[in-house]
């Protein structure tokens, strides 16, 4: 069992500019952490990947001690910290807080940690309230965060046309933005516009970015907030009309919408099968780690190819992987890798079972030694006190229970996983599946399939599923 450290900062800015994350990591390693898990996310979130991984490791009895710099690194919610503490105590994991040494197993330590977690949540709620009030004042003043291309901010942080000169074109940024709008109406597609303005002016736009820019209300002279809905947040958009000079007139806007609608109608289909194919969303580029999209040839064979989404992006965003790889070849190689590696995966599962049983026996032996010592002390008293006799009987019962090692993992689940791998290692099994079934089964085993510029693939298995 290892000694883990856990470090967390809320933003990337804290990690990079203020070096807060590196400071935490250095302190944790100095304190004896053999591995440090890191999250860059708000402590109010329960979806922190490494934090949840730490809890899972604790539940699998792979952790002896956890080291943190402060209690609020575990979270900014009383409930989150309380649940984590319950898991630590249940699995006899020692928690070491460098800035406030307490023993969570003692009543005083438990009280102290709950006080500190309450203070952490209080600070978080107070900060959230101040930010909310500041944002409300910001919107009342019609201020803008990040101006769209063609605009800048004046001394009052409001939008105004950007009159700075663009070096390559010799035009102001506002004039250049107007020219881009004209190009959208003149040229065949948004991709053609993106390629043209990058070649002529070194202005970088992706197709989706250009589409979002055209639909930005700021280009119509309006200052708007909350235009993009967020999951779980129900808030009406706020639109302040005619707050600054417009780049796009209503007539031009209508023409742009007609053009975008015509392009969408040309490219789309009522029977779209996007995402309805084996390994959908799992195929990644080995060079840029970006996704790969499916393209279907117009030939009567309708061959499906996978290609990196970044291959055609301009400038620094471009990926060197321009290889088109047949989807069926990727699927076939993935299945072949699964069949080839099935014995190794099953061996890992068996080793995992043995290791967990050994961990259980070691833990039970420590408890048995402690209880046996307590039992000998009580029996040595030779007392007729009913309470002492009852305590002796209870300890004896506990010793009997611990004498038989109890499984700490889901053996049935791992045995079921072994059976699935054994079945999946048979090529005839895969030949009997249709595309929908293939998609379902492959997603159960595969985390990602990386494809390089030579068409070679590397399969990343769902290691957590296999238990190692």
Q: Which residues does the annotation mark as catalytic? A: 10
Distant-in-sequence, close-in-space partners of 244: CB < 8 Å, separation ≥ 6: 151, 158, 159, 160, 161, 218, 221, 223
Report the sign of the C-alpha dihedral through residues 212, 215, 221, 224, in that order: negative
Burial of 302 (0-12, 13-18, 19+ CB in 10 A): exposed
Structure tokens of 22?
Answer: 């590196």
DSSP string for residues in 322-381: ---EEHHHHHHHHHHHHHHHHHHHHHHHHHHHHHHHHHHHHHHHHHHHHHHHHHHHHHHH
Give the DSSP letter string of 233-261.
Answer: B----EEE-S-S--SS-HHHHHHHHHHHH
CA distance 190 to 298: 21
C-alpha–C-alpha distance, residues 358 and 167, integer Å: 69
Residues 367, 69: Cα–Cα separation, whole Å: 30
Q: Is 160 left (phi over 0), alpha (psi -120 to 50) or beta?
A: beta
Cα–Cα distance for residue pair 421/32, rounded to 1 Å: 39
Q: How far apart are CA 417 and CA 312, in angstroms?
A: 41
Token readout for 347 is 């061996």
Tokens of 32: 């004896």
The residues, any chain, with a CB within 8 Å of residue 16's CB and separated by 6 or more, are: none
Residue 73 to residues 5, 41, 141, Cα–Cα distance (Å):
11, 10, 36
């Amino acid at each position: 069992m290892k000694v883990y450290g856990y470090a967390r900062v809320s933003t990337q800015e804290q990690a990079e500019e203020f070096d807060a994350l590196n400071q935490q990591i250095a302190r944790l390693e100095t304190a004896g952490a053999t591995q440090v898990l890191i999250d860059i996310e708000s402590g109010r979130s329960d979806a922190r990947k490494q934090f949840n991984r730490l809890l899972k490791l604790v539940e699998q009895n792979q952790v002896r001690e956890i080291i943190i710099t402060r209690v609020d690194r575990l979270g900014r919610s009383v409930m989150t910290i309380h649940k984590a503490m319950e898991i630590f105590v249940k699995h006899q994991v020692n928690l070491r807080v460098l800035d406030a040494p307490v023993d969570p197993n003692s009543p005083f330590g438990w009280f102290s940690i709950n006080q500190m977690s309450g203070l952490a949540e209080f600070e978080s709620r107070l900060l959230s309230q101040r930010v909310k009030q500041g944002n409300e004042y910001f919107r009342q003043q019609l201020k803008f965060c990040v101006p769209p291309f063609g605009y800048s901010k004046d001394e009052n942080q409001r939008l105004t046309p950007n009159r700075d000169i663009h070096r390559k074109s010799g035009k102001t940024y506002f004039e250049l933005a107007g020219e881009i709008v004209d190009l959208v109406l003149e040229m065949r597609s948004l991709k053609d516009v993106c390629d043209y303005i990058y070649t002529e002016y070194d202005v970088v736009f992706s197709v989706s970015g250009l589409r979002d820019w055209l639909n930005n209300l700021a280009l119509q002279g309006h200052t708007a907030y909350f235009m993009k809905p967020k999951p779980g947040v129900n808030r009406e958009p706020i639109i302040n009309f005619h707050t600054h000079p417009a780049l796009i007139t209503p007539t031009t806007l209508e023409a742009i919408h007609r053009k975008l609608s015509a392009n969408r109608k040309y490219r789309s289909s009522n029977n779209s099968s996007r995402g309805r194919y084996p390994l959908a969303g799992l195929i990644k580029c080995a060079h840029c780690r970006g996704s790969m999209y499916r393209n279907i040839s117009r030939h009567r064979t309708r061959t499906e190819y996978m290609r990196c989404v970044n291959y055609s992006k301009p400038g620094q965003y471009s990926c060197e992987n321009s290889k088109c790889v047949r989807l069926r070849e990727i699927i076939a190689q993935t299945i072949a890798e699964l069949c080839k590696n099935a014995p190794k995966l099953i061996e890992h599962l068996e080793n995992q079972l043995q290791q967990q049983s050994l961990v259980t026996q070691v833990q039970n032996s420590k408890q048995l030694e402690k209880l046996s010592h307590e039992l000998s002390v009580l029996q040595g008293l030779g007392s007729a006190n009913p309470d002492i006799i009852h305590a002796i009987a209870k300890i004896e019962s506990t010793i009997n229970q611990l004498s038989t090692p109890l499984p700490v993992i889901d053996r049935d689940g791992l045995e079921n996983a072994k059976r699935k791998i054994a079945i999946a290692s048979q090529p005839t099994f895969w030949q009997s599946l249709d595309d929908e079934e293939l998609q379902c089964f492959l997603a159960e085993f595969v985390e990602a399939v990386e494809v390089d510029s030579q068409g070679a693939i590397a399969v990343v298995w769902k290691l957590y599923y296999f238990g190692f």
